Amino acid sequence: MSVTGMSESRINWQIAQTTYELARFLGVDTVMTRQKEQIDYPDGITSISGRKRWETRERAALINAVDGGFLLSIHQNKYPAPQPWGVQVFHADDEASRQAAAQLQERFTAVLQPENRRAAALIGKDVYLMNHVECPAVLVECGFLSNPAEARELETASFQIKLSMVMAAFFRGRLTGEDHL
């Protein structure tokens, strides 16, 4: 939940949908791991931890079934203090993911946040999805919901489109070998 009251899942969904549409427009063959914001869980799974385990395993299986796939996971960051801000890209523990994360972080910095000094970083072992897919994987923390100014910006369609444009153009560039920004 952002400091302004908007849910992280809503912001993630809006950015993911926009990125999906832009990527497809640019000719990137794209698969979403969900078709709607809400998740339909099997009847027997009622605990939060059980639902999370089921969901991440289902997503990993879907991703691993895609030949030549590349995982882009979209999230929002949060910190106890309100000062931290900025996009940060995390990567799975392989060279292709590390290189992609570094390039994507550079794009976000160059195009959207020239004063952002964050560097791409290895994701923790506790992030199941990023550590159980067989393809390159990056996780983008689009900003800090705990920073009031950034939270308000993350809720706007215009900033969401800018974030999505950077990600979609990055993946288009991976296909063509061209820089589209």
Single-letter amino acid code for the residue at 63 = I
Output the CA–CA distances (angstroms, integers) from residue 149 to 40, 89, 119, 130, 155, in the order listed.
33, 20, 21, 29, 10
CA-angle at 24, arms to 150 and 165, nearest 5°:
25
Which CATH number is 8-36+45-176's, of 3.40.50.300, 2.40.160.40, 3.40.50.620, 3.40.630.40?
3.40.630.40
Q: Give the tens place of pLDDT for each residue, 60-105.
A: 988 999 999 999 999 999 999 999 999 999 999 999 999 999 999 9
Give residue 52's pLDDT.
Answer: 78
Give residue 151's pLDDT.
Answer: 96
What's the whole-number mean pLDDT along residues 139-157? Answer: 96
Is residue 91 within 8 Å of residue 101, measured between CB atoms? yes
Q: What's the distance, CA 74 to chain centroid?
A: 2
DSSP letter string over 3-43? Answer: TTS--HHHHHHHHHHHHHHHHHHTT-----S-SSSS----T
Token pair in block for residue 94: 């392989």
130 vs 7: which has the higher pLDDT: 130
What mean pLDDT value characterizes the chain? Answer: 90
Token pair in block for residue 8: 């992280």
What's the whole-number mean pLDDT along residues 42-49? Answer: 75
Q: What is the pTM of this model?
A: 0.90
Is residue 154 within 8 Å of residue 141, measured between CB atoms? no
